[in-house]
Amino acid sequence: MITIKYFGMLAEHTQCSEEQMDFKPLTLSELVQDLKVKYQLNSASFHVALNHKLIQDSEDITLQLQDEIALLPPFSGG
Amino acid sequence: MKKKTVFIEGAISPSFISDSIAKHQSKHTIGGHNIFLGQVRADEVEGKTVAAIDFTAYEDMALEQIAEIREKAFKTFNLTCMHIYHSLGKIKAGEICFFVFVSAKHSKEVYAATEYLVNIIKNKVPIFGKEIFEDNTHQWKTNIK
């Protein structure tokens, strides 16, 4: 299983803060593309974190079992 | 890496802040403290006024980020003590939601460290603010870079 978490306006938009998916050997960018289609996220601005680390270039990363992916809108603490 | 308490449910009270100051009176190598307090502002947007901000965070990631930030700041600024607190949940306009408290031998280090910490936490830590207007509608807060 892999876990996908959504925060802030993305959790509001997807009406979901966390979901689990069966593991498939996708790249991280393929997964994100699937999620963009599933939730119509093309106009949204967000960063992707994999296992708590921000990922800039997700094309060369293949998902592993137990990975935790998070879609993070712009940060606005403080 | 050791994870310190950062997130506090609800507003940060003035008594919590004064207790934090009092706890440092036994640390006699400290010559200067500096404090930044973030307060929820009642911004006006298109005729509506912000009544509160509801903060959420990706807590696991945020705590790891802050632990790294702490380690770097200790090395860079020669600090004796550093405390970082951020509220979660609904914080009303006028209440304190962010508390950065640094202590060192001399004033120079604490000014620089405070500015560094406040900026990096706003920009690099996954915390999200939902600005709630008086009529219960909302917009998502954005930070000025």
Biggest CA pair distance of chain B: 51
- What's the CATH code of the domain at A65? 3.10.20.30
Contacts of A15 (CB under 8 A, 6+ apart): none
In a domain, A41, yes or no: yes
pLDDT in tens, B122-141: 999 999 999 999 999 999 99
Say whether A74 and B60 touch across the interface (CB within 8 A): no
Range A67-78 average pLDDT: 96
Residue labelled with tokens 């680390």: A53
Contacts of B42 (CB under 8 A, 6+ apart): B49, B50, B51, B93, B94
| Confidence at residue B137, expressed as pLDDT on a 0 to 100 scale | 97
Say whether A75 and B143 touch across the interface (CB within 8 A): yes
Residue A57: which pLDDT band, with cuts at 50, 70 and 90? confident
Share of chain B above pLDDT 90, in %: 94
Nearest CB among A72, A76, A78 relative to B58 is that of A72
Q: What is the CA B67 to chain-centroid distance, rounded?
A: 14
Chain B residues with CB under 8 Å of a chain A CB are 38, 55-58, 60-61, 64, 86, 97-98, 118, 121-130, 140-143
| Confidence at residue B145, expressed as pLDDT on a 0 to 100 scale | 65
Mean pLDDT for chain B?
A: 95
Nearest CB among B64, B98, B140 relative to A78 is that of B98
The DSSP secondary-structure symbol of B58 reads -
Alpha-carbon span B44 to B24, nearest angstrom: 39
pLDDT > 80? residue A16: yes
- Through-space distance between the first and last CA atoms of chain A, rounded to whole angstroms: 34
Residue B114: which pLDDT band, with cuts at 50, 70 and 90? very high
**Residue A29, min C-alpha distance to chain B (Å):** 20
In a domain, A40, yes or no: yes
In a domain, A78, yes or no: no
Domain extents in chain B: 7-140
Say whether B142 and A76 touch across the interface (CB within 8 A): yes
| Confidence at residue A56, expressed as pLDDT on a 0 to 100 scale | 87
**Residue B124, min C-alpha distance to chain A (Å):** 7
pLDDT > 70? residue B65: yes
Domains in chain A, number:
1
Fold of B7-140: Aldehyde Oxidoreductase; domain 3 (3.90.1170)
Please report residues of A whose CB lies closer than 8 A to that of B125: 75, 77
Alpha-carbon span B83 to B28, nearest angstrom: 17
Say whether A74 and B142 touch across the interface (CB within 8 A): yes
Say whether B140 and A73 touch across the interface (CB within 8 A): yes
Does an H or E element contain A47, and which? strand A47-50
Residue A27 structural domain: 2-72
pLDDT in tens, A17-28: 999 999 999 999
**ipTM of the complex, rounded to two decimals:** 0.94
| Confidence at residue B74, expressed as pLDDT on a 0 to 100 scale | 95
| Token pair of B23 as six digits | 């706890």
